[in-house]
Structure 1
Amino acid sequence: MHPDAMVRGERVPHGGEPDRDLLDFSANTNPETPDGVDEVYADALETARRYPDDDYPEFRAVAAEFVGCEPDRVIPTPGGLAAIRLGIEATLEAGDAALVPYPSFGEYAREVRLQGAVPQFLRYDDLVEARTTLLEGVELAVVCTPNNPTGDAADPDALAALADRCADAGTTLLVDEAFLGFTDRPSAATVVDGSTRENVLVARSLTKLFGLPGLRAGFAVASGELRETLETGRRAWSLGTPAARVGAYCLRQDAFVAGTRDRVASERDRLRHALGQRFDVAPSDAPYLLCDVGDRSVDAVIESAREDGVAVRDARTFRGLDSHVRVAVKDRAANDRMLEALDAKSAAAVSEGDENSGRGPIRDGSETGNEPDE
């Protein structure tokens, strides 16, 4: 990182509610974890009396199988954000430019700036369609799929085409797939042929899908010279033994993943219909929904929910959003409590068929200094 940028830099806001008495709908994590995790963690904790194998062969093999690539392309990292930082560190120098989506995760711009580089904001869906002439002016382009906070996933063919244009422009493409595991869409690690496209970096997070955000486990996927750079640059013992063991175990739980996807899809449709009676709710492929509260006060909506014991996400910190909240998709009982707190529970019983399919307005990113966030 660039020393001056570290001095000038700031933290960015994220979801996650510290008050344990509140039901947290501000963070997009699975409320369930796979059976058997406790035992795996306890066994790994005893093994943690010695340093882990820095090659992480089991973790690499299972992670590679999960996304559909070769094990030697996997770079273990302590969470998806660590993979993002590693990729940005390997790609950008002071003064370089990076194409960053909005509204989207705030750490992209922050990490770019920490390298002394300059983020150039482009609406997230326009970024996927960015032409070669635009890409030629940047060293890095970032895509989040499904995008956070809007929830829509990029078309795999469009991503592959973007990777081709990035290669022609000499631009590295970083694809953040933190929430892709909640869908059945293929990873860019599979869609983009790593043997021919060595300019693509995929960042994956395990902890959201498996309900263990405090474990900090994830990985990057890359090929060729970029892969070698990431492997050399990653920290020694990138994953603690518990994170590596539990992560590998979770990635093998196919039934848990399938059940989670079914539950999220079903509950997301129900919530979108119910919330759509009060708000303008964006379509989503992710375990969260972006709601435009319209003329209502965002502060009042958030405070009213808190008074009823539920924390929802203030989405105004995302660049381009000024009247939005974001809510996670949890289990049915918790979701009903959230609907009640937002005065939308009665709508949940209404038969579907008149589902709101509108999307709230997303402003031009130049209109606000707000940054995207998790």
Structure 2
Amino acid sequence: MDPDAVRTADRVPHGGSTDPAVLDFSANINPRIPDGVEAVYRDALEASRRYPDDDYPDYREAAGEYVGCQPRAVIPTPGGLAAIRLAIEATVEAGDTVAVPYPSFGEYAREVRLQGADPQFVPHDEITAIDPADHALAVVCTPNNPTGEVVEPDALEAFVERCRERDTPVLVDEAFLGFTDRRSMAGQEGVIVARSLTKLFGLPGLRAGFAVATGESRTALETARRAWNLGTPAAAVGAHCMRQDAFVRTTRERVRSERERLRKGLEKRFTVSPSDAPYLLCELESEAETATDCENTRGETAGDAVDALLEHARDRGIVLRDARTFRGLDGHVRVAVKGREANDRLLEVLGDE
């Protein structure tokens, strides 16, 4: 990490409310957790009186089965973001450039800058069409956050092949891929996959995830990761959750059904982006869309509309994600797909103006 970059870097805003009295649609977290989690956690507390096994054999085995790779390729990390940081630290040097999608997860650019490198922003739906030759790393997010669509497998595989030919590693963030039935890129040569467990399994405070890599990349990540970087409770609960196939299938079906129902309701008021993820990106319609004023005025008007909507929802006990914090968006909010009752309340609140 570059010391000068650390002194000038900013934090990145995220969703998520600590207020238990509100319905939080700003963070994309499964409202349910698998059966048996509490018992596994209690048992792990006693085991926490000793250091964890730094090889994490059970966790690696569960993760390998979960994404379809060899356990040895799994690098345990305390959350998906830790996997992203580890991948960027191990591949990027000061002065490098990194191809980063937008609008997308803001931590990619922050982590690149912390290395003293330069993020080169590419529209998220064009990232697989770039020439990776001049970049130290290319980043792909699938499903993309906040827009929600997966990258088509054929396009991603062709892009990875071009990157291999140019010795450019690809970081594929699959934080929300578990909500889909799409195949992981885990175990592919030249690819570093970052996975988060806390979203699909409804445990964001647990901080459990992993990276997957092969060859020299795997060696670099395994060497660079901190010793005991995953706590005993997180490792035990994470391994348990990754083996809950029925829970995953049920979650996917529920999210797919509720997402479609929520989309139909929200389209009465917003322009809603197609999504394969547990969230929907909504663009606010404004009077400025039919005006002939300058773009700056249109942006301010869209911003005012977002402010009004966020305040309206908060006054009624609902928190939405202000998507203006994502590069390139100025009149959008993002809403999570939750349970039926909570989704009904969201539609009621957003329709009562």
What range describes the TM-score normalised by the shorter chain of this pair? over 0.9
Q: In 2, distance between residues paired with 1:141 and 1:294? A: 34
**In structure 1, distance between residues paired with 2:352 and 2:65:** 41
Instruction: Name the Cα RMSD after superposition.
Output: 1.1
Residue matched to 2:224: 233
CA distance in 2, matches of 1:344, 1:280: 18
**TM-score in terms of structure 1 length:** 0.89
Partners of 2:20 and 2:8 in 1: CA distance: 33
Within 5 Å, give how 1:79-118 maps onto structure 2: 79-118=79-118
Matched, 1:150 2:136: no
Distance, in Å, in 2 between the alignment partners of 1:343 and 1:31 is 23
Deviation of 1:294 after TM superposition, in Å, equals 1.8
1:360 paired residue number: none
- Separation in 2, partners of 1:320, 1:235: 35
What letter is aligned with 1:332? R
Once the two structures are superposed, the pairs formed by residues 1-374 of structure 1 within 5 Å of their partners are: 1-130=1-130, 134-189=131-186, 194=188, 197=189, 199-295=190-286, 297-343=305-351
Separation of aligned partners in 2, 1:344 and 1:4: 50
The structure 1 segments of at least 4 consecutive aligned residues displaced by more than 6 Å after TM superposition are: none
Residue deviations 1:221-264 (CA, integer Å, cap 9, x gap)? 00001100000000000110000000000000011000000000
Q: CA deviation at 1:19?
A: 2.0
Q: Structure 1 residues 344 and 281, CA, compared in 2 at 3 Å: closer, same or farther?
A: farther
Where 1:142 maps in the other structure, the secondary structure is strand
Identity percentage over the alignment?
A: 67
d(CA) in 2 for partners of 1:146, 1:188:
13
For structure 1, the 5+ residue unaligned runs are 346-374
Q: Which residue is equivalent to 1:351? A: none
Give the secondary structure class of the aligned counterpart of 1:189: coil
Query: What TM-score comes out, normalization by structure 2 length?
Result: 0.94
Secondary structure of 2:199's partner?
A: coil
Q: After TM superposition, give the deviation of residue 18 of structure 1 in Å.
A: 2.2
Task: Check whether the contact 1:159–1:188 (CA below 8 A) recurs between aligned residues.
Answer: no
5+ residue gaps in structure 2? Answer: 287-301
- Which residue type is aligned with residue 261 of structure 2? R
**Residues 344, 202 of structure 1: CA spacing in aligned structure 2 closer, same or farther, 3 A cutoff?**
farther
